[in-house]
Amino acid sequence: MGQIHAPYGANTKKTIVGRGASSKGRTCGRGHDGQNQRSGGGVRLGFEGGQMPLYRRVARRGFSNAKFTQEYQIVSLDVLSANFEDGDVITLDVLKDAGLVKGFNVQVKILSNGELSKKVIIDGLKVSASAIEKITAAGGEIR
């Protein structure tokens, strides 16, 4: 009473193979014959029975456009409305200083999520077509 003990079946005796019929005797669970039945048998990693392995079939050289991809960080109009005042000029450096954009070599695109009620000037940033309409309707401009 009051002792901690393992539940039934948690502790089992280690199976010792190849020591007669009382343990796992005879083939020891390895099957009857073949390469994997022998001690030291088996094939190396990636071996496919003589077929040309996958790692040799797949091309490892050639051209890729991956290093030329440009990823844009997205800034919404409601974020601009919350963080800037009337007449502010918004550039990439201003967005970085405000903590809205992070990273060293980044590009920014302004999307039209939310509403903009302030006259802001966007300078040197990509802007979506619907965001251009909302910015100019609020009295702002894009350079």
CATH number 3.100.10.10 is the correct assignment for the domain at 71-142:
yes
pLDDT computed for residue 26 by the predictor: 82
Q: What is the pTM of this model?
A: 0.54
**CA 123 to chain centroid:** 32
Altogether, the residues listed in the chain come to a count of 143
Domain segments of the chain as ranges: 13-61, 71-142
For the chain, give the percent of residues with pLDDT over 90. 56
The answer to whether the CB of 140 falls within 8 A of the CB of 115 is no
Q: How far apart are the C-alpha atoms of 48 and 41, rounded to whole Å? A: 15
Q: How far apart are the C-alpha atoms of 22 and 19, rounded to whole Å? A: 8
The pLDDT tens digits for 55-65 are 999 988 888 89
pLDDT computed for residue 59 by the predictor: 87
Eight-state DSSP code of residue 32: S
The answer to whether the CB of 134 falls within 8 A of the CB of 112 is yes
Is residue 1's pLDDT more than 70?
no
Nearest to 126 by CA among 73, 66, 82: 73
The pLDDT tens digits for 67-83 are 898 889 999 999 999 99
Please report the beta strands in the chain, taking only residues with DSSP state E, as ranges in sequence order.
Answer: 72-76, 89-90, 107-111, 121-122, 126-127, 141-142
Q: How far apart are the C-alpha atoms of 86 and 101, rounded to whole Å? A: 20
The answer to whether the CB of 138 falls within 8 A of the CB of 118 is yes
Structure tokens at 15: 């199976």
Average the pLDDT over 10-32 and give the result. 84
The pLDDT tens digits for 86-140 are 989 999 999 999 999 998 889 999 999 999 888 999 999 999 999 999 999 999 9
